[in-house]
Each structure stands twice: as C-alpha cells, then as structure tokens.
Structure 1
Amino acid sequence: MSGPVTTALDGDVWHVTLDDAARGNVVDQAMAEQLRAALEQRPGTARAVLLTAAGPRFCVGGDVRVFADAAEDMPEVVGRLAHTWHDTIRAVLYCDVPVVAGVHGAVAGAGLGLLGACDIVVCARGTKLRPAYGGLGLSPDGGTSWALTRALGAPRALELMLTDGTLSAADAHLFGLVARLVDDDELLDVATALASQVAAGPVRSMVRTRGLVRRAAVRTLEEQLVDEERLIRESAADPESREGVAAFLARRPPDFPGAG
C-alpha cells in the first residue's frame, strides 16, 4: 500500500504508518479510507497492529483547507469525512487483534479520537495533544469527546474542549489518556517491542478483555458479571487457555502463537 498510509509485516506485527508527513498526517478522505483498508487487509499471521506516524507530527486532525474550499458545501464535506472517519475508528476499535499506537509531536482533532480507539498508547514526552475543534467553531467527531471524557472525566474534558486548550504528554499519562510515557528518541523502539510482546500473548483472550473493559463504564456490576462468565467460558474452550494452563504446570513459557 502506498499513499497517506503505508504498511509492512514485521514478524507477527502488522505495522501501519500514517505517511503524509509533509501535511502533518492530516485526516482527509484518502487518509480515512486507506487507514481503514490497511486494518482490513491485515495478514492472518499478524497477531497485533502497531500504529505509528512519519514526520514530526502524529496527526494534526482534519484538513481545514478542504473545509474552507468547500464554502457553502462545508456541512456536506465535513459530514461525509466524519462518516468515513467513524468507520475507520470502528475498524480500529473492533480489530480482531490488539492495536498498539506510538504517538509523538502533535496530536489534534480527529487524531485524539484515533488514540481513544487503540488498546495501548505509548506517548513521547514531547507530545502535545489538543482537541482543536473549538478554534474552528466545530464540535468534536471521531470519538474525541468519548475518549477525552472517558480519560479525563467530564469537568476536565469540558474545560479542555471549551477553552481550546492543550494537554501535555505528562498530563495525558496522568489522566489515563495514554498508557505509557517514554523519551522521544525511544518511542519507536518501545512501541515496537510492546507490540511484539502483545503479539506473543493470548490475543483472543486479550480481545475479549478489551471488550469487557470498554463496556464496564456503562454497565452495572451484575451485567459485567454475566458477560465475564460468558467470555471466560469462551476463553476456556480456546487453545490459548489449554496452552497457558499446560505451560503453567510445566513451569515453562507459554507458546500462544503456536496454540492455533
């Protein structure tokens, strides 16, 4: 794949790169469509996805120049892009394997929603994160309002979005928007190693765990208990669990990729 998104298979990790560095990896129709295609074209041997970006900025959000050129047609253009981008976010959110992201530089607008859909986000210390919608007179899309509210809570999320503020990498880590904070020059190495570690694990049970965690915030404990029982039964029927139990009793590392 060439264009604003490139892909490569690195062992059992499907490495997807936002590759429009000259424009800050801006989100337009081509970026949205190609990112979704990259996820859908993941080889069957890939047990994890690693999402990174080329250039000094991870993603600067939507293509404002296209919005301006649309003039009176801007509602249609913005709405169509939001619709396409939301399908892309769903492709990340419901990916059949865990998705690890390594982010750096600047993350704005739709890029924040993208982070919220990933399972594990590694963030370089120098990164700045900004909703950026308020300065354009727009409300959020791409799951940005969901990701920020889920991580920061409603008061902090509103303060950030209504003042068009910026969040430092340290604060994003403190509030839980990103999982791990690393030095800028270590980002790619750490994110790559983490993706490989995840790929070596029980990915099917990881995906079940992801679903449980994401649903927990909107359900009662009783609902969660019912779902946990159903999913642990599924996991117990999976070759991964048989391998994990056998490895534990044999006091050896489990070979989840070889479990089928």
Structure 2
Amino acid sequence: MTEAQDRPHVLTEVDGDVWRIVLDRPETGNAVTPELAAALAAALTDRPEQSRAVLLLANGPRFCVGGDVRSFAAATDDPGAFVGRLARDWHAVIRMLLHCPVPVVAGTQGAVAGAGIGLVGACDLVVCARTTKIRPAYAALGFSPDGGTSWALTRALGAPRALDLMLTDGSLTAAEAHLTGLVARLVEDEDLQATAVAVAHEIAAGPVRAMVRTRALVRRAAIRTLEEQLDDEAQLIAESAADPEGREGVRAFTERRPPDFRTAR
C-alpha cells in the first residue's frame, strides 16, 4: 500500500462533550469508497456514550466530492453490483446519522457533490463556508441520485427546483443553499471550523434528548397532517417533561438559574 492508502480514512477525537469525526482523504476530495463508508460507520458506532453531540468535519479544501468515480470505472465486470453495494453501505451511514441518539452538526467547505449532499442532508445543523459549491453531479455520469441526495434537495428546494438542479447538472452556491434552507448557517471560510466547533459545544450543553425529539418532529412534519403532528407533539412534550432534562429545566427556571442539562441523567 502507498502511504495515502494506509492512512486512516476517518479521524476521531473526544472534544469535551463532542465526538468529533473528520473525513481524512483530502487527496481524493474525501470521495466515497467502501473503505470510507466503513470507517465512517465505525466512527459513529464508536461514539463514546458520554458524548452529547457529534461534529462532522473534513480535511482538505473539499468536504466530499461524492462517489469515487475511478473505482466505478475500474469495476468493469459488474459496475451495477459494485455501485449498488457502495450505495447500500453509504445508506447505512446515512441511517446512522438520521437516528443518532445525539444531535449531529457538520461543517462544510469547498465541493459538496453527489452522495456528499446526502451526507450533509442527514445532519441536524450544517455550518457552510461561503465558497462552498453544491452540485449533484449525477447527470454527468448518467446516474440517478443516491445517499439521500434526492430527499435532501427536494426537502430544501421543493420538487421543481430540485429536478431543475439534478436534471440540468446544475449547482448551488453556499448563499443559495443557505437561502433555501439546505444549510443552516453561512460563514466566512476562515471562520468555518471555529464556528462549527462552537455550535457543536453549544448544542452539547443543551437538553440533547429533547433536541432529538424536536428533530423527529421537524422531519416528520412535511409528511403529516396538522392533526397527526399535534398528537405527536403532545406525546413528546409529555416525555420531555418527565425526562430528567425537563425536570432540571423547570427547576432551574423556578430557581432563577441557568439549567445544567449535563447532570440531568
């Protein structure tokens, strides 16, 4: 193996309450391969139980360029089988992010393309550097989307604009992605990491179980009637009130002090 091939695909670090996961294949633009998918799944599985938020970052000038097209080209015997396996592996990662027991923050820069869009779409809060460019890029390969990309774009843009973007192989600037709600915050490139880290720590200090309930409500809102949503809200706020987090929040309010959700176990 070369030195680059032998290096870990993903780096992990405990940063106080935050489990930091960093894609670390900058020489490939952090392209999605079976190895990267496996490493990211392992990093999410290995999240320390005491961590209260996940922060997803990427080394190099590009966050994630999508699938490794060179590996697609090399799979001459059965490219459909190879790409299908990779999609299923990547979808397992997306599901892990969607159902993560703690909130997930991401910080993106440079290119976010193909399956990288689905990765961003599965995170709860995305901080985006101003020079980021988001491009589905599937049409150029003659592929349909994977990785939750069609879901993320349709949810943010609506079906007509999502189709326009994907069918014409278009792209979004960071400002456009922010305006449409695909990403939550827009910052200058030099401020990306510091802002993403600060946001992750701010969230980790909050009522993370209530945040996970809030995430579930928001994601289901688009496919439910108001009546269904009201029923779910009533159930989940009751769970929150009975949770040690809710008890601590109410107690802190009545005692006129800041709540300490970290100790609310």
TM-score, with structure 1 as normaliser: 0.98
Aligned length: 259
Deviation at 1:88, TM superposition (A): 0.4
- Match in the other structure for 2:3: none
Instruction: Show the 5 A alignment for 1:59-138.
Output: 59-138=64-143
Equivalent residues in 2 for 1:217-236, closer than 5 Å: 217-236=222-241
Alignment of 1:12 with 2:17, yes or no, is: yes
Q: Establish whether residue 179 from structure 1 lines up as the match of residue 184 from structure 2.
A: yes
In 2, Cα distance between equivalents of 1:56 and 1:116: 20
Is residue 2:147 matched to residue 1:167? no
User: 3-state SS of the aligned residue for 2:78?
Assistant: helix
In structure 2, what is the Cα distance between the partners aligned to 1:198 and 1:149? 27
- Determine helix, strand or coil for the equivalent of 2:194: helix
The one-letter amino acid of 2:106's match is A
Task: Give the structure 2 partner of residue 24 of structure 1.
Answer: 29
**AA in 1 matched with 2:129:** A
SS of residue matched to 1:62: coil
Moved over 4 A (4+): none
Identity of aligned residues (%): 68
The Cα offsets for residues 96-138 of structure 1, whole Å up to 9 and x where unpaired, read as: 0000000001100000000110000000000000000000000
Tell me the TM-score normalized by structure 2.
0.97
> AA paired with 2:247?
R
**Structure 1 residue 72: Cα displacement:** 3.7
Please state if 1:206 is matched with 2:211: yes
Shift of 1:229: 1.2
Unaligned runs of at least 5 residues, structure 2: 1-6
Tell me what 2:50 maps to: 45
1:161-210 Cα offsets, whole Å, 9 max, x none, are 00101110000000000000000000000000000000000000000000
Give runs of aligned pairs for residues 138-177 of structure 1, distance below 5 A.
138-177=143-182
